[in-house]
Amino acid sequence: MQTKTLKADDEGFACAAKILRGGGLVGIPTETVYGLAANALDGKAVSKIFAAKGRPGDNPLIVHICEFDQIYKLVAEVPESAKKLAKAFWPGPMTIILPKAACIPDEVSAGLPTVAIRFPSHPAAQRIIRESGLPLAAPSANTSGRPSPTTAQHVLHDLSGKIDAVLDGGPCGVGVESTVITLASNPPRLLRPGGITLEQLRSVLGTVEMDDAVLHPLKAGVRAQSPGMKYKHYSPKANVIILDGTDAQYKDYVNAHAAPHVMALCYDGDDKELSVPAICYGGSQDDSAMAHELFDALREFDERGADTVYARCPAPQGVGLAVCNRLMRAAGFEVLHLG
Ligand code: AMP
Ligand code: MG
């Protein structure tokens, strides 16, 4: 199959909508990362997403809508808490999980009794949903296990020849996937941190628990609340190791371990004092910049042939919690405590 690259113009949107109505797959820009979209109400179309990505069949997808009222058809019941969250953070990078309606195919929910719903803020994503006239199931548009795509080029790198088209809407703003919160448990629980922070969720709902899997590997025998969290995820080919210590300890350790194909993922400015090739991904206090740059940096290490990457990780607060969560998975939870 030849994958078309569509422009974000009238013709491109019309073509994307037509492919989706015909049961095909289109890579679409959103404010988080690029999504791989299919008609969420068509199990056969949705199963093509799993095949193209090589995604495990037990990892459910997020259904994207372009106005709040679409949610009523997709879930069994809309609680007050969902209305409050939507009022505060939709459209935007937050996904809500609720018991599903009967129209949701098993392929979307991966057999779970619940469904994940998001109303994205990206104008191109909204227009594709509106013109197709469909709720769209869309996970990240990468090969399963690879860093999520934040440009149309990343999508083509992973999926060219396996999907019908990608609509190029430029680079994504947030850079990490949406915050996932389940309202199907009491109290509500954060399953995946993202651009909407735990602090923001708590300011609207009061108590919100953080799932253990956000910052820790799942213990043997424990069932993942969010199946996506159980996989080693977001990984470049290189072995990523998070170094936990002061600025000076980090630099000393990296410089003492300099060798061919050893590289560093560091804060802005640190590269000047490192003797290995480095990618700076934001100022030490600038979590949003790190979220924006992280996946692109992880892909670049592959291109540069890194086999070991020593990474700096921000404190697990605000958007830093999302950066930490993705980086911990990229590192397979390997953290070296210095000093
Ligand atoms: P992706 O769109 O690739 O970022 O993946 C969607 C994320 O949402 C994965 O981590 C899924 O496991 C999670 N997810 C989707 N639907 C559900 C659900 N019904 N219950 C729990 N987690 C879900
Ligand atoms: Mg993904």
Secondary structure (3-state) at 253: helix
Q: Extract the runs of DSSP E, i.e. beta strands, from 174-226.
A: 179-182, 189-192, 209-210
pTM (two decimals)? 0.95
- Which residue's CA is the closest to the ligand 1 atom numbered 10? 228
175: part of which helix (H) or strand (E)?
none
Q: Could you tell me the residue ranges of all domains in the chain?
A: 4-214, 239-337
Equal fold, 4-214 vs 239-337: no
Residues of the chain with pLDDT under 50: none
The ligand 1 atom at the shortest distance from the C-alpha of residue 229 is 10
- Which residue's CA is the closest to the ligand 1 atom numbered 9? 228
The ligand 1 atom at the shortest distance from the C-alpha of residue 177 is 4
Ligand 1 pocket: which of 30, 32, 63, 97 to mutate (most atoms <8 Å of CB)?
97
Residue 231 is predicted with a pLDDT of: 61
Q: Which whole-number Å values give the CA distances from 154 to 166, 190, 297, in the listed order?
A: 10, 28, 12
Q: Given 3.90.870.10, 3.50.50.60, 3.30.365.10, 3.40.50.300, which CATH number is that of 4-214?
A: 3.90.870.10
Residue 235 is predicted with a pLDDT of: 77
From the CB of 127, is ligand 1 less than 6 Å away? no
**In whole angstroms, what is the distance from residue 320 CA to residue 259 CA?**
29
Do the Cβ atoms of 264 and 310 come closer than 8 Å?
yes
DSSP letter at 54 equals T
DSSP letter at 70 equals G
Token pair belonging to 336: 């070296």
**In whole angstroms, what is the distance from residue 96 CA to residue 179 CA?**
9
**In whole angstroms, what is the distance from residue 171 CA to residue 149 CA?**
9
Ligand 1 pocket: which of 33, 59, 109 to mutate (most atoms <8 Å of CB)?
59
Residue 230 is predicted with a pLDDT of: 66
**CB-neighbour burial class of residue 205 (10 A; exposed 0-12, middle 13-18, buried 19+):** middle
240, 285, 174, 57 alpha-carbon torsion, rounded to 10°: 30
Do the Cβ atoms of 97 and 179 come closer than 8 Å?
no
Residues 6+ apart with CB under 8 A from 109: 60, 100, 115
Secondary structure (3-state) at 251: helix
Gap from CA of 314 to ligand 1 centroid (Å): 24
How far is the first Cα of the chain from the last one, in angstroms, to the nearest whole number? 54
From the CB of 228, is ligand 1 less than 6 Å away? yes
Token pair belonging to 270: 């640190």
Assign domain 239-337 to its CATH superfamily: Threonylcarbamoyl-AMP synthase, C-terminal domain (3.40.50.11030)
